[in-house]
Copies of this chain bind each other. A is one copy, B any other.
Amino acid sequence: MYVRFSLNADLLTSGDIPGEAAAAIEQAVQEANETSFRRGVPKEAQPDDIGRITGWSVEGNALRLSIASGPYTRAHDALFRFRKSIASVLGRHRIGVRGIEVTGFTIRLEGSVEPAAIPRLPMIQETAFDENGVLLSLTLNAADLENKVPDRLVRLIEEKAEAMAYGGKAEHWELIYESPRQPPRFDRDPTEEMVKKGWIKHGAARGQWIYGPQAVQLFRAFETIVLEEIIRPLGFSEMVFPKLVPWEVWKRSGHAKGVYPEIYYVCTPKTRDPAYWEDVADYFKVTGEVPVEMIRDRIDGPIGGMCYAQCPPFWPFVQGETLATDCLPIHVFDRSGTSHRYESGGIHGIERVDEFHRIEVLWLGTAEQTVDTADRLHAAYTRVFDDLLELEWRCARVTPWFMAQEGLVGVSENEQIGTRDYEAVLPYSGGWLEFQNVSVNGNKYPKGFNVKIQSGADCWSGCSGIGLERWTAAFLAQKGFDMADWPDRVAELVGEPKEIFRFL
């Protein structure tokens, strides 16, 4: 995409700029155009592609600038670079630069531009399309320029164009392992069977189950297998990650780019003062109904949401730190609470729920260490699924979860970065259930949370989410409820179902 930036801005000074400064200003402008703006620009760049002050004038305490650029030393970057150099020139006249007022900013785009999306984008005041492209007039201030708003805007428009071009293509899916076939022992929906047996009941909220002792015996048996066969042999240490996730975390993890449709949002009371809430309580006491609209007016936020992906809230533990080379790779896991996703409506089995339980495995280190851990996890999982659970399953390279959760499709350009989904066949439907995954996330999180390695090597990370509901759904769908059909180790760990409730 062809891109050009053009801006008008006033550098506001602490006093009127004297006429005798004109020559020095002109000299600074020429120096900027010929030297400073060319720093860091590739040799093959055309002169027109590079930022250039195209005009200047003085009016009282304002130095008025017009700057234009293509993709290199973009007009706004040129502005800030010039402010630095002109500050020392004006300093000689005992005048300081006090602020910047942006009086005009346009972006010219040519090439594959998706017209439909542009007018709704923030900061855009006017759009003018012609046969070659579009001219965007923006309303923004100096803080927006420092915050790289024009660059983000261009990148977003490019992304939308790519998504259009990609549109309709299916998610990436590429088989990398297929297990031996297993004799099917059961052909019904295991959730219905668990409900019939009284092992689980619907919770009061949507997509939520209450698990009785018998179901939890399965969860804990699988957890024991994960701990004994995977987590301990590979040397993972348990941590406790937070479960309320504020925007601050999702801004850095990238989830703020696209996860909004599926979040359970969290809001806080405007105050803890009981007097402020007394009439809400009174309303309930008198009517027996909770006054949702009254509450809505009395809460702030949303401040973020309930845990969605389990690993992002770990990262503030290492945020801004440099890790000693010899403590790497770091291997940790968390199993301290629930994850919540606003899934599409309707009745689901335990394999597709709004509230679920997951053991999240997380590791970081150099690229090599990170890839190696992922491979060793894959080998351990393969042994567990083939030999211990005797599942019929397969493994596929798919669109990385962190891309999917930002609304992107395709796969990473780097072959080593990506997600492997583990899928088990469900004999009752013939479909396949993704019951866990392993991802190498490259430097995405270390970069987002500013984590470095002492040696200077790029820091990478990986994660693997082990869904207890999904292991249970896959296992019961294939093996059924007759424990005589179960692999010995599983039967032994689960034990006889505890039937402690008896309803009339």
Contact = CB atoms under 8 A, between A and B. Distances in A.
Contacts of A149: 286-287
Contact of A304 (B205, B247, B265, B342): B205
A201 B306 contact: no
Contact of A244 (B159, B242, B262, B264): B264
Contacts of A240: 209-211, 215-216, 219, 357
Given A324-B503, A498-B237, A264 B264 contact: no
Given A244-B208, A313-B210, A122 B504 contact: no
A371 to B, nearest CB: 20
B152 A287 contact: yes
Contacts of A503: 318, 321-324
B213 A332 contact: yes
Contacts of A92: none
Contact of A266 (B120, B265, B282): B265
A16 interface: no
* Copies assembled: 2
A172 interface: no
The A interface is mostly helix, strand or loop, or mixed, namely: mixed
Interface in A478-504: 498, 500-504
Contact of A204 (B248, B292, B299): B248
B216 A238 contact: yes
A295 B302 contact: yes
Interface residues of A, number: 119
A189 B38 CA distance: 57
Contacts of A266: 264-267, 306
A282 to B, nearest CB: 5
A241 interface: yes
A205 B246 contact: yes
Contacts of A322: 503-504
A383 interface: no
Contact of A357 (B216, B251, B304, B336): B336
B208 A286 contact: no
Q: Which 4 pairs show the lowest CB-CB distances between chains A and B?
A: A337-B337, A211-B240, A324-B502, A213-B237
5 contacts: A211-B239, A250-B290, A258-B277, A260-B269, A321-B503
Given A205-B245, A336-B338, 16 more contacts: A152-B287, A201-B316, A204-B246, A213-B332, A216-B239, A242-B355, A244-B355, A251-B284, A256-B281, A257-B281, A264-B267, A266-B267, A272-B344, A324-B503, A327-B501, A330-B501
